[in-house]
Structure 1
Amino acid sequence: MKIDDVKVKINPFTWVFILLLVLAGLYIELIDIILTVAIHEVSHYLVAKKLNINMIQIEIFPFGGAAVFDSEIFIRPDLEIIIALAGPLSNAVFIMILIIVSQIIGTQLDYLIRINVLMCAFNLLPGVPLDGGRALKSVLSNFIGLTRANNVAVKISYVLSLLLMYGSILMFVNGNKNYVLITMAAFLIISARNEGRLSQYFNLRDLIYKKEELFKRGIMNVRTIAVLENQKLIKIINCFLPLKYHIIVVLDKNLKEKKRLTETELFDFAIENGLYLPIGEILSKVK
């Protein structure tokens, strides 16, 4: 299904969640949840559009969605932070509106308010693919690179999922069958596992789009790093930071300079020969 050129996918978790609510006869609650998720995701879309970032695809989960954007967001962590936080912020604003409206009309909107509080709070947790995790990953990537930043967010996701699972078990023991916490925990575990599998490709993807960005801008800040000749290409690439063009200074065991390479030269060789060769082995092959 496509909406305004955005491919919309419904995750199987979402269908199961909807089915459970329908079987329980919670039709009003289901409508409230759909409205809350819609506000959250439309906010991501509108902010991305305002920043001239195209949303290509969105996969809808019970507690939000995972969006795929065009290439620019991959090398602009600042933009990803803004887009990620737009969703929880929209829920926070909606909560304030609901409180004011409920006071004016004299009708309690407690469930809708609680759902928005839950949506806002859950998505601000620092685990991927939640908005808080995306924001954390983007901040950390400026210091430790995309791959390592994503690995940190993935590990946090596993910790959060275990805490949620522990909380749901305690509630079951006390007679409170909270299926929401279990669903959240399962969602985080599966999503974190998928994100972890992709981590090693993040910096390679960044290098591809960064090259396009450099041609488009014509100028980019340079970052120089020194490496010993026995270091593998994958380890060096994982040290690269977004929106910085890297010059690699290769040193011998006596810390004397042997050669300087650009990240483009390194990347081109890695694509043809693999990521696990020591950089010293490629010096004679790079002009």
Structure 2
Amino acid sequence: MKLRISPLLPFLFLLGTVTHTLSSMLGMYLCLFLHELGHLITAVILHMGVSYLGILPFGVAIRLKEEQTRPIKERIWVAAAGPLASFCGAGLIFLFQKYLSQKQFFFLFCGNFALGLFNLLPILTFDGGRILFYLLSDAFGSIIGYHRVIFLSRASVCLMAAFGAFILYTTRWNPSLLMIACFFGYKMWAEGGYERVTMTQNAFDYRHKKRPDGIYKTRTLTVNHTVPLRRLLKYFSSARYCVVHIVDNEMKLKTTLTEQEIADALISEGGTITGENIYGSTTQASTKAFPIHGRRMGQYQKGPFRH
């Protein structure tokens, strides 16, 4: 596990000491640690390893090993565990409020509750956005699911920023919601590249989808033989194996391809390749040799799960 502690952290604590806000900072980090602890405990229970733990000036971040290749239900449980831990923390603070000062109770209770609530917003880099992404990926494929969640994420941040600007305009002194919206927008932009690359990599990595029992959840597509195969990529998902039936203009089945064979064809022949190039819509075309990893076209008809 890679541990990263931000070099700005000591200066932040020094600033808290000078401004007499150190106790508030420590309380904030306590809320954040409790939130991430929920993710961590659930990941350990589900036998997911931790690849990265970062303590940053504005939060705590963890990354899990092979999270994108685990079943949808497990990923949703891990994502939901953080807000659930925050809400449980708020409940415990409420039960033991008599042992705390009014200021401590208000700060810790509101901090945990707000942290859990904000993380349920449909913004991709937060738990609510991840849960929504997993559900949409399972239903529509990873790439379509990603673009839909990105749209909802941007809409949520824009609405939050507009509401924050309205509050700042009416109160003349409270920029907190606007600052939070800016932070959410920055985090979404900063982590968006990592999310996109990881999502695409796992959607293509069919090796992680192999199951010991040999039984696969599949998505079946039927496409015309003139459709470029690159247009099928948006339907690939890390949760399901994709099987594609190629038909001609008369809706007669010509061949069946797996996502592995489609990926191999795109890599070796380029993005303009079609089902007709692989099999052919006529008898003459069907006898052509089309090498993918040294195989001829007739070999593709031996079964959809040939690896």
Report the TM-score range of the alignment, normalised by the length of the smaller protein.
0.7 to 0.9
**2:127 matched to which residue of 1?**
131
Matched residue of 2:266: which SS? helix
Equivalent residues of 1:141, 1:149 under 8 A apart: yes
Equivalent residues of 2:68, 2:199 under 8 A apart: no
**2:29 matched to which residue of 1?**
34
Mapped pair 1:212 → 2:208: yes
Letter in 2 for 1:107: S
Choose the corresponding residue for 1:100, options 95, 98, 110: 95
Normalising by structure 2, report the TM-score: 0.79
Normalising by structure 1, report the TM-score: 0.84
* Worse-superposed segment, 196-205 or 131-140: 196-205
> Do the aligned partners of residues 196 and 267 (structure 1) sit closer, same or farther apart at CA in structure 2, a change above 3 Å counting?
same
Structure (1 or 2) with the larger CA radius of gyration: 2
- CA RMSD for the aligned pairs? 3.0
Gaps of 5+ in 2: 280-289, 298-307
Shift of residue 275 of structure 1? 4.2
**1:68 matched to which residue of 2?**
63
Identical positions, percent? 22
> Do the aligned partners of residues 272 and 178 (structure 1) sit closer, same or farther apart at CA in structure 2, a change above 3 Å counting?
farther
Mapped pair 1:199 → 2:196: yes
Q: How many residues align?
A: 280
> Do the aligned partners of residues 72 and 177 (structure 1) sit closer, same or farther apart at CA in structure 2, a change above 3 Å counting?
same
Residue pairs, 1:10-159, within 5 angstroms: 10=6, 25-60=20-55, 64-103=59-98, 105=99, 107-108=101-102, 109-159=105-155
Matched residue of 2:227: which SS? coil
Q: Which has the higher contact order (CA 8 A, sep 6+)?
A: 1
**2:287 matched to which residue of 1?**
none
Equivalent residues of 2:202, 2:238 under 8 A apart: no
> Do the aligned partners of residues 158 and 22 (structure 1) sit closer, same or farther apart at CA in structure 2, a change above 3 Å counting?
farther
Counterpart CA distance in 2 for 1:16 and 1:178 is 25
Matched residue of 2:210: which SS? helix
Equivalent residues of 2:123, 2:150 under 8 A apart: yes
Shift of residue 144 of structure 1? 0.6
Residue pairs, 1:224-263, within 5 angstroms: 224-263=220-259
Counterpart CA distance in 2 for 1:273 and 1:18 is 57
Letter in 2 for 1:41: E
Shift of residue 50 of structure 1? 0.8
**2:285 matched to which residue of 1?**
none
**2:218 matched to which residue of 1?**
222
User: For each residue in 1:186-222, what CA deviation from the matched residue of structure 2 results, as whole angstroms up to 9, or x when unmatched?
Assistant: 23223333555453762442331x4234154433233
> Do the aligned partners of residues 115 and 158 (structure 1) sit closer, same or farther apart at CA in structure 2, a change above 3 Å counting?
same
